[in-house]
Amino acid sequence: MSVLTVPSTYPISSAATRQLQRPLFGHVIDGETVASLDGGTMSVIDPASGEQIATAASGTAADVERAVRSAREAFDDGRWRFLAPIEQERRLRRLASLLAEHADELADLDVIDSGLLRMYAGFIVQFAVDGVEYYAGWPTKLHGSVPAVPNEFIVRQVREPVGVVGSVIPWNGPTAGAAFGIFPLCAGNSVVLKPAEQTPMSAVVVAELALEAGIPPGVLNVVQGTGESVGAAVVSHPQVDVISFTGSVETGRRIQAAAAARVKRVCLELGGKSPSIIFPDADLDTAAATVMMGVWGASGQVCTCNTRVLVHESVYDDLLDRVVDGSRGLHIGGGFEPDVDMGPVVSAAQLERIQRYVQIGRDEGAELVLGGERHGDRGYFHQPTIFASVRNDMRIAQEEIFGPVMSVLTFSSEDEAYRIANDVEYGLAAGVWTNDLNIANRASRALRVGTVWINTYQMVYPSVSYGGVKQSGQGRNLGEASLDDFTQLKSVWTKVA
Ligand code: ADP
């Protein structure tokens, strides 16, 4: 297999350069980094150039079988779950430290893999480190309860791991996706992690660092490949007890249906069409800057992007001018270029999807006030695109595009704002811009979403639960609430003689 060369213009760390010289980003099964049983591979494409930059293994159900068997054995013999909780904490903390030591390397790989801006990738990797550090604190704090029962009995409700967790993760923020996928380790579970086929690199590094940190072989396995073959095999495998999935609604539905055949628990973090509601008394400068950051920051490829901007009619023109003027001069380029404001989207398929939606917006009669075209002819770049005078029944206001396309709508009363905000299938997040405490409180009650941000946007913290309602999913990532997704209660009755 030939080794591909990294463009010399990429100012990446020597550690990332070394990673890119691997002939293969393989699976990690039973503590070994290995090729597919049938030798299958797939190309890793740099979205900034459209060129292949590395090669990854592409597995089949046979590789999933190996990984699940390894995870099951590790769970059943207790090599991880029966370690003293304080020792589990120590090793998970060691993993967090190793991730921190390798942060530059992981962020560099994430830029090349997914097209994130380097600064943004750095934040996301730091968030992954913080998340592992947070969950490292849980093993000694998990506890059950002793409920009140008739006097002749004693009942203990014990909180136990579920077993083997299948974590199917997306491509936007690959290191963070891998970190989210391994949080269930803190409750003694084993994990089979399935990275997105677009971004296979950092999960391998994370799994190898987990071994170095003392997470025993077999406890964390990674299987690379497509959703249709590897993802589907993980989801339907009888020895995988719970599925933790982050991705699109369509795939989430398919996964939930497949999991139903085995009455398997699923935790789904799906898409969004999140509104930012801007009231007349808002600080418009901050609102406009945050709204732009929310959509352009990762080229619109974050589930919580505020792609529906709802503006009160009295400040509509003012806000729209600020956002259009502020977005017009954005510097578009690869994630490693200096002073770049917006990078590429992840793949040719994603670029085509965005172009399709821009055409839908035009056909629906929305007013295209900025962008609307592919940027350049190399890599997968799209101009920041703003549609004004959008009606909420238009598809560009209802459907998740996952690209740098903002729809601006207007409202005339508070009730109308909440009605429009909620009149969508999704319910992931919402932003509210006001200095009126009563409006802020009413909005936080009225909005049917998993997270409300008031005068801020896209804040996340490891201790704060994160997830959606309606078609945006079920279960929670982050915080204490997520423990319910990968633990289960066992009731133990004892008769007092
Ligand atoms: P996208 O369409 O942007 O690639 P998806 O939601 O399809 O987003 O992908 C998210 C993750 O789900 C990826 O790891 C992908 O490989 C996986 N996936 C896709 N289809 C399936 C499936 N049928 N079963 C299990 N996993 C899948």
Under the banding of pLDDT at 50, 70 and 90, the label for residue 9 is confident
- The CA R_g of the chain, rounded to the nearest whole Å, is 23
Is pLDDT of 3 > 60? no
Q: How far apart are CA 207 and CA 27, in angstroms?
A: 9
Is pLDDT of 480 > 60? yes
Residue 170 CA, closest ligand 1 atom number:
10
Least confident of 6-10, 122-126, 190-194, 415-419: 6-10
What distance in angstroms lies between residue 492's CA and the mean position of ligand 1's atoms?
Answer: 39
What's the token pair of residue 347? 């793949």
Q: What is the pLDDT of residue 111?
A: 98
Is pLDDT of 294 > 50? yes
Residue 235 CA, closest ligand 1 atom number:
25
* Residue located nearest, by CA, to atom 13 of ligand 1: 196
Under the banding of pLDDT at 50, 70 and 90, the label for residue 88 is very high
What distance in angstroms lies between residue 300's CA and the mean position of ligand 1's atoms?
Answer: 18
What distance in angstroms lies between residue 231's CA and the mean position of ligand 1's atoms?
Answer: 7
Choosing from 168, 235, 345 the residue with most ligand 1 atoms within 8 A of its CB, the one to mutate for a pocket test is: 168
Active site residues: 269, 303
Q: pLDDT tens digit string along 121-177?
A: 999 999 999 999 999 999 999 999 999 999 999 999 999 999 999 999 999 999 999
Is pLDDT of 390 > 50? yes
Q: What is the pLDDT of residue 317?
A: 98
Geometric angle at alpha carbon 136, from 15 and 474, rounded to 5°:
100
Residues 6+ apart with CB under 8 A from 446: 418, 421, 422
User: What's the half-sphere exposure (Cβ side, CA atoms, 13 Å) at 36?
Assistant: 20
Name residues contacting ligand 1 (CB within 6 A).
168-170, 194, 196-197, 226-228, 231-232, 235, 247-248, 251, 254-255
Q: pLDDT tens digit string along 104-114?
A: 999 999 999 99
* Residue located nearest, by CA, to atom 18 of ligand 1: 227
Read off the pLDDT of each residue in 296-302 and give the average, rounded to a whole number. Answer: 95
Q: pLDDT tens digit string along 332-382?
A: 999 999 999 999 999 999 999 999 999 999 999 999 999 999 999 999 999
Decide: helix, strand or coil at residue 29.
strand
Read off the pLDDT of each residue in 300-305 and give the average, rounded to a whole number. Answer: 96
Q: Which helix (H) or strand (E) holds 432?
A: strand 429-433
Q: How far apart are CA 18 and CA 54, in angstroms?
A: 12
Q: What is the pLDDT of residue 144?
A: 97
pTM of the model: 0.97
What's the token pair of residue 48? 């900034």
What's the token pair of residue 462? 């490891």
Q: How far apart are CA 196 and CA 174, in angstroms?
A: 8
What distance in angstroms lies between residue 251's CA and the mean position of ligand 1's atoms?
Answer: 6
Q: How far apart are CA 400 and CA 85, in angstroms?
A: 42
What distance in angstroms lies between residue 165's CA and the mean position of ligand 1's atoms?
Answer: 16
What distance in angstroms lies between residue 256's CA and the mean position of ligand 1's atoms?
Answer: 12
* Residue located nearest, by CA, to atom 26 of ligand 1: 231
Q: What is the pLDDT of residue 259?
A: 97
Q: How far apart are CA 418 and CA 254, in angstroms?
A: 30
Portion of the chain with pLDDT greater than 90, in percent: 98
Is pLDDT of 2 > 50? no
Choosing from 251, 253, 301 the residue with most ligand 1 atoms within 8 A of its CB, the one to mutate for a pocket test is: 251
* Residue located nearest, by CA, to atom 14 of ligand 1: 196
Q: What is the pLDDT of residue 7?
A: 76
Q: What is the pLDDT of residue 6?
A: 72
